[in-house]
Copies of this chain bind each other. A is one copy, B any other.
Amino acid sequence: MNGFAFYDLITHCTQKSDSGETILSASKTKPADNVRAIRWEASTLTLLDQRRLPGEVIYRDYVDAVDIATAIHDMVVRGAPAIGITAAYGVVLAARKAYTKDPQAWQTLIQPDLDSLASSRPTAVNLHWALERMQSLFAGISGDPEPVLLQAAKDIHAEDVAANQAMGEVGAGIIGQCRAVLTHCNTGSLATGGYGTALGVIRSAYRRGNLQMVYVDETRPWLQGTRLTTWELMQDNIPVTLLADCAANYLMSRGEIEWVIVGADRIAANGDVANKIGTYGLAVAARHHSIRVMVVAPVSTFDLGIADGSHIPIEDRGPYEILQCGGHLIAPGGVNTWNPVFDVTPAGLIDVIVSEKGAIQAPDRQKIKALLV
């Protein structure tokens, strides 16, 4: 029963960075928003290592953009908005390195690091959105780029939290009184600058006293639901029930939930949504059971350059994630696997998309264009 050792860790652990904060002991008091996965302090980017949760709460420090690209690829940090914010801070560090090497040529020297960041994950568009926003500032910079770029990264970070809080209010208003919802993957403070997208709506609805239970899919293969969403909700004293992904249809058939609420990694111009594998199946199931589907994503998630979901690149992360569970091998050696980690939900299966600019009911190309452009 050695596997159970981390129960004690969960109960007693404290943040392992040297800041001295104790995240978990602060979490037992009120329904709040206690977790932060991305921090900039003392010229260093600090990321909460999400591969190790919930067993261990480990923060890792980064001062090099290539290491940050690796951290994004390896999923130390994950979640579309969080990846964008992390990449923005990565640009700050890349610029520092390039400027230190050659103050005249930093805009050329930085390019390989930008390429590393851009290629770290393929599906979430927020990464490219953040990189483009940072790069758009380069031409106007004279002298040391770090102060300008750091302010821009902090702005991206702060705007994301504000957007999430705004979306939370919009989404909670749409949901109204609601006994229970189902969510998939992790879309909370761990996946964003803070507060969360889908989990932000859930947080706001719960704060209003309108929501009694959050059902959370395990979200195989990476177990974002099991490992991250349950943990994050428990930090904030929001009631959560964990279930196997394949039990969602049965849950719906029993009339347990009123909404499926999910995030997005990229939304095409027509409203098709790429999100964590399994989202499409939940939308199919929700339609069959007359349950509504809400997608919550900031405008940085929309990719109006892509006509529909068929053009969104879907990342395949290879066999390892299927062959193991929680780091332990579970399948016969040599078995073939298929591991697409995103899927595309057609706009027709989505009842409403919530962004910080407002909600789009029954999303389509015209409504999206009207809201965003």
Known interface pairs A285-B281, A330-B227; A322-B245 also in contact (CB < 8 Å): no
Interface flag for A54 (CB, 8 Å): yes
A246 touches B217 (CB 8 A): yes
Please report the C-alpha to C-alpha distance between residue A337 and residue B234 in the assembled complex, in whole angstroms: 13
Known interface pairs A215-B338, A288-B284; A332-B231 also in contact (CB < 8 Å): yes
Interface window among A94-102, A128-136, A218-226, A362-370: A218-226
B336 touches A240 (CB 8 A): yes
Kindly list chain B residues whose C-beta atoms are within 8 Å of the C-beta of A184.
246
- Name the one of B326, B330, B333 contacting A226, with C-beta atoms under 8 angstroms: B330
A10 touches B217 (CB 8 A): no
Kindly list chain B residues whose C-beta atoms are within 8 Å of the C-beta of A329.
3-4, 6-7, 55, 326
Kindly name the residue among A3, A10, A250, A332 whose own CB sees the greatest number of chain B CB atoms within 10 A. Answer: A332
Kindly list chain B residues whose C-beta atoms are within 8 Å of the C-beta of A250.
277, 280-281, 340, 343-344
Please report the C-alpha to C-alpha distance between residue A223 and residue B215 in the assembled complex, in whole angstroms: 21
- Name the one of B10, B220, B284, B335 contacting A333, with C-beta atoms under 8 angstroms: B10
Known interface pairs A246-B277, A249-B343, A281-B246; A335-B230 also in contact (CB < 8 Å): yes
Give 3 closest A-B pairs by Cβ, nearest first: A246-B278, A249-B281, A325-B325
Number of copies: 2
1/0 per residue A206-246: CB within 8 Å of B? 00000000010111110100110011001000011111111
A369 to chain B minimum Cβ distance, whole angstroms, is: 26
The count of chain A contact residues (Cβ–Cβ below 8 Å) is: 63
7 contacts between A and B (CB under 8 A): A6-B333, A218-B322, A230-B335, A240-B335, A243-B337, A248-B281, A325-B325
A213 to chain B minimum Cβ distance, whole angstroms, is: 9
Instruction: A325-B328, A326-B330 given; name 15 further pairs at CB < 8 Å.
Output: A3-B327, A226-B330, A226-B331, A227-B330, A230-B335, A234-B335, A241-B337, A242-B336, A243-B322, A244-B322, A246-B278, A246-B281, A247-B338, A281-B281, A288-B288
Please report the C-alpha to C-alpha distance between residue A227 and residue B324 in the assembled complex, in whole angstroms: 11
A330 touches B223 (CB 8 A): yes
A236 to chain B minimum Cβ distance, whole angstroms, is: 13
